[in-house]
Amino acid sequence: MSAASTVVKQPEAVNYLNVDNRIKSWLLTEDHKRIGILYLITISLMFLAGGIFAMLIRLELLTPAGDLVMSDTYNKMFTMHGVIMIFFFLIPSIPAVLGNFCLPIMIGARDVAFPRLNLASWYVFTAGAILGITALVLGGVDTGWTFYTPYSSSFSHTPVIIAVSGVFVAGFASIFTGLNFIVTIHKMRAPGMTWLRLPLFVWAQYATSLIMVLGTPVVAITLLLVAVERGLRIGIFDPALGGDPVLFQHLFWFYSHPAVYIMILPGMGVMSELIATFSRKRIFGYEFVAYSSLAIAVLSFLVWGHHMFVSGQSMYLSMVFSVLSTLVAIPSAVKIFNWTVTMHKGHVALYSPMLYALGFIGLFTIGGLTGLFLSATAVDIHLHDTYFVVAHFHYVMVGGAIVAFLGGLHYWWPKMTGRMYPEPWGKLSALVVFIGFNLTFFPQFILGYLGMPRRYHSYPDEWQTLNVLSSAGATILASGFILVAVYLLWSLRYGAKAPANPWDATGLEWKTSSPPPPTNFTQRPIITEEAYNYPIVLSNNGEPEEAMKQEGAEKHEHA
Amino acid sequence: MSTHEGDMYVGHQFEDAEQQLDSYSIGMWLFLVTEVLFFGGLFLAYIIYRTRYTQAFVAAHHELDWRLGGLNTVILITSSLTMALAVRAAVLNRMKAVLGWLGLTLLCASGFMVVKYVEYSAKFEHHLFPGPKFEFQHAGVDSGQAQMFFNLYFAMTGLHGAHVLIGMITMMVLAIRLWLMRKQRVDFIPIELTGLYWHFVDLVWIFLFPLFYLVGGN
């Protein structure tokens, strides 16, 4: 560790950022780190677009009457919010940004297995995002993000074909990333980096990549068929042509439920890194946490029918899907328990990434447990398509995936940019996001329980108080996100120079300089120890105790 | 950034040629897995509607000419053989043979597309393309159900045809590149990967042919 950090101190050291500053060198780069940064820029812009729609939705719901926009416009707003946030932000967020940047370094490789395919992935994704924005500029799509037929095939007068093409194209970016990661993890590991020495982030990315590779082609063909049905009247799903719309739902959810795990699994990977680093301890039950990622990936393909309890599928099918959906709770709980136990008797250091991680544990637990309510068929029939469902998946997608993304972004920011973010502001943002989030979405559980349906722009007067609370929370949450954007951008110029290992963490990415050199390491690392090998020291009474590197931590605090 | 080990080109991210070959092979097989799932959605739709509208599917399939379909099957299987021979020639570093076998494979692929064109035009003439002009008269068979047969026929053979076209373009690019670098050792990895893809395309047709042309029998 110390040997590597002496290399860093020389100011003129060549790193992946200063090696070539021309725009062309960025647009044609094959460096996984630069591609991660390119992805970060694209998805941040998409997050902004999706966020604006979220705020417009909350603004409309401030009052019971549908007074800000017409119902048609409202349909377009929640559709574009969902499409952008899911396909153009959440799915690529952690894998394509943090995964792209960190994964090859974490396994001791110079790059991913297919660097050009990696760059192609970003171009394809950007093309998809442009198509998505084009659909928006042409008036927006009103089908809901699920593109259910026959809404999307026969009854919509909006640019559905352009929107589904955008999602179709972005799907290929996802396949490219997944394929690249699987091959990279299998074939590019440094000598001594056995499977059970891999950081848990890598395990999570592996499980995610399996889902990307196996699921995405199915939604691709499904959306292609919707486009063909609209454009050429070759109908597979149109009842007027003898088709069955429920088949669309089966095919769509066969991908789109696993896609939920594409969004949350990488977040769980980030969590394992944060918890281990800031508790100065090896993750409790490493193997269980690693295999639980695979278990979630496998189960993810067996539960899609829980979206269709009221779509007229067979009662017996619903019973099977209900049981299988409940099983997802087991690997998820394994993770939560093991993280908590890791913190137990650890030296927990409450830096901003750790604050985000603690937020994740609370929010994901609520999101996961309410998922159990919804997997029970009888309860689901009451709660289906209400705000309870909206609150549930936002607790998982925002409280889980986005909070983990922000935690990971703070954690690896010094590595990615070579600058420290301002710690007090980081802590404040974690707090603001946590409070804003709960205020936005907790009232929605109650609203859903009371029966408020999703996707309507007006509601009875008695629900206004809870809706006002939710809209107020959304404002706080948005301020939290803006705060993060402002100080992270600020730190690019004014932040303190980051040392190679500001957190005193284990892991190969901390053994190279910040920012890393173009080939990641000056010489190929050889791995001789397991992940999270934090030193154990004996305390005064002879009990083994994990060492806390107080010195290193303080050094950074004053930096 | 890249090194040449012997005559083999090794990308900068790899340690040696073996790691590179393994990576490309796994990558290609994974890609074929995604292709299986891509077609899988359509095969699922076929199974469901075939079970639901058995009579209509049997009646509608008589509109397809099994002789033309059979001819195309023979052509594609032959092209798989020539492709395999091209890969073998590449491993043995016989440049002329590689180009020859690739040329023959391309010829077969073009033959397949010509037969497909003949078949498609006949369907258009007989108003069997789905849409407002669709007409299908058969005692005891619902025209809408028969149309589903042709929906699937055009969707699946169309998607397959697109894959044949992509294969042809890949082979042409490959042949031109090989021609330009004919003085060097044959880089067999791209030829092998194209070969894997081509066998996959062949294999899909092996399923499509009986499902559409021979379904239900007589």
The pLDDT tens digits for B49-88 are: 999 999 899 999 989 999 999 999 999 999 999 999 999 9
A103, A177, A236, A317, best to mutate vs chain B, most B CBs in 10 Å: A236
Q: Encode pLDDT of B6-37 as tens digits.
A: 456 788 899 888 999 999 999 999 999 999 99
The C-alpha atoms of residue A218 and residue A223 are separated, in whole angstroms, by 9
Q: Which of B26, B27, B45 sits opposite A247 (nearest CB)?
A: B45
Interchain contact, A236 vs B131, CB within 8 Å: no
> Per-residue pLDDT averaged across B139-145, rounded?
81
Chain A residues touching B152 at Cβ < 8 A: 236
Q: State the smallest CA–CA distance between residue A177 and chain B in angstroms.
A: 11
What is chain B's Cα-based Rg?
A: 21
Interchain contact, A188 vs B19, CB within 8 Å: yes
Interchain contact, B30 vs A182, CB within 8 Å: yes
Please tell me the predicted confidence (pLDDT) of residue A233. 81
pLDDT-based confidence at B3, cuts 50/70/90? very low
Helix (H, G, I), strand (E, B) or coil at B201: helix
Chain B residues touching A234 at Cβ < 8 A: 130-131, 151, 154-155
Asked if A210 and A248 touch (Cβ cutoff 8 Å), the reply is no
Please tell me the predicted confidence (pLDDT) of residue A5. 47
Q: State the smallest CA–CA distance between residue A106 and chain B in angstroms.
A: 15
Q: Which of A180, A183, A234 sits opposite B130 (nearest CB)?
A: A234
Interchain contact, A217 vs B53, CB within 8 Å: no
φ and ψ at A18, to 5 degrees? -90, 0
The amino acid occupying position B113 is: M
Residues of A with CB under 8 A from a CB of B: 109-115, 175, 179-180, 182-183, 186-188, 213-218, 220-222, 225, 228, 232-236, 240-244, 247, 251, 519
The C-alpha atoms of residue A69 and residue B180 are separated, in whole angstroms, by 62
pTM of the complete model: 0.92
Compare all CA atoms of chain B with the CA of A175 and give the residue at the minimum distance: B34
Interchain contact, B30 vs A213, CB within 8 Å: yes
Q: Which two tokens stand for residue A16?
A: 């992946």
Tell me how far the alpha carbon of residue A271 is from its chain's centroid. 12
Q: Where are the alpha helices (DSSP H) in A197-348?
A: 200-232, 245-279, 286-300, 315-327, 329-343
The amino acid occupying position A492 is: L
Q: Report the percentage of chain B scoring pLDDT > 70.
A: 95
Q: State the smallest CA–CA distance between residue B35 and chain A in angstroms.
A: 7
In this model, does residue B2 exceed pLDDT 50? no
Please tell me the predicted confidence (pLDDT) of residue A541. 55
How many C-beta atoms lie closer than 10 Å to residue B112's C-beta? 25
| Closest by CA position to B215, among listed B6, B97, B61 | B61
Asked if A463 and A425 touch (Cβ cutoff 8 Å), the reply is no
CB distance from B183 to chain A under 8 Å? no
Contacts of residue B27, Cβ cutoff 8 Å, sequence gap at least 6: A113, A114, A179, A180, A183
Q: Which of B13, B44, B49 sits opposite A110 (nearest CB)?
A: B13
Please tell me the predicted confidence (pLDDT) of residue A557. 47
CB distance from B25 to chain A under 8 Å? no
In this model, does residue B172 exceed pLDDT 80? yes
Please tell me the predicted confidence (pLDDT) of residue A535. 80
Interchain contact, B131 vs A233, CB within 8 Å: yes
Please tell me the predicted confidence (pLDDT) of residue B209. 96
The C-alpha atoms of residue A38 and residue A30 are separated, in whole angstroms, by 11
Interchain contact, B40 vs A233, CB within 8 Å: no
Compare all CA atoms of chain A with the CA of B56 and give the residue at the minimum distance: A242
Interchain contact, A232 vs B131, CB within 8 Å: yes
Interchain contact, B22 vs A187, CB within 8 Å: yes
Q: Which two tokens stand for residue A437?
A: 């989030």
Q: Which of A187, A216, A232 sits opposite B19 (nearest CB)?
A: A187
The C-alpha atoms of residue A65 and residue A63 are separated, in whole angstroms, by 6
Q: State the smallest CA–CA distance between residue A214 and chain B in angstroms.
A: 6
The C-alpha atoms of residue A181 and residue A552 are separated, in whole angstroms, by 33
Tell me how far the alpha carbon of residue A125 is from its chain's centroid. 16
**Along the 559 residues of chain A, how does pLDDT read in single tens digits?**
444 444 544 555 889 998 888 999 999 999 999 999 999 999 999 999 999 999 999 999 999 998 999 999 999 999 999 999 999 999 999 999 999 999 999 999 999 999 999 999 999 999 999 999 999 999 999 999 999 988 898 888 899 999 999 999 999 999 999 999 999 999 999 999 999 999 999 999 999 999 999 999 999 999 999 999 988 888 889 887 778 999 999 999 999 999 999 999 999 999 999 999 999 999 999 999 999 999 999 999 999 999 999 998 889 999 999 999 999 999 999 999 999 999 998 899 999 999 999 999 999 999 999 999 999 999 999 999 999 999 999 999 999 999 999 999 999 999 999 999 999 999 999 999 999 999 999 999 999 999 999 999 999 999 999 999 999 999 999 999 999 999 999 999 999 999 999 999 999 999 999 999 999 998 889 999 999 998 865 455 545 444 444 444 444 544 4
Q: State the smallest CA–CA distance between residue A12 and chain B in angstroms.
A: 21
Scan for tokens 């305390």, then name that residue: A539
Interchain contact, A221 vs B39, CB within 8 Å: yes
Q: What is the mean pLDDT of chain B?
A: 90
Chain B residues touching A216 at Cβ < 8 A: 34
Interchain contact, A220 vs B35, CB within 8 Å: no
How long a stretch of residues is chain A? 559
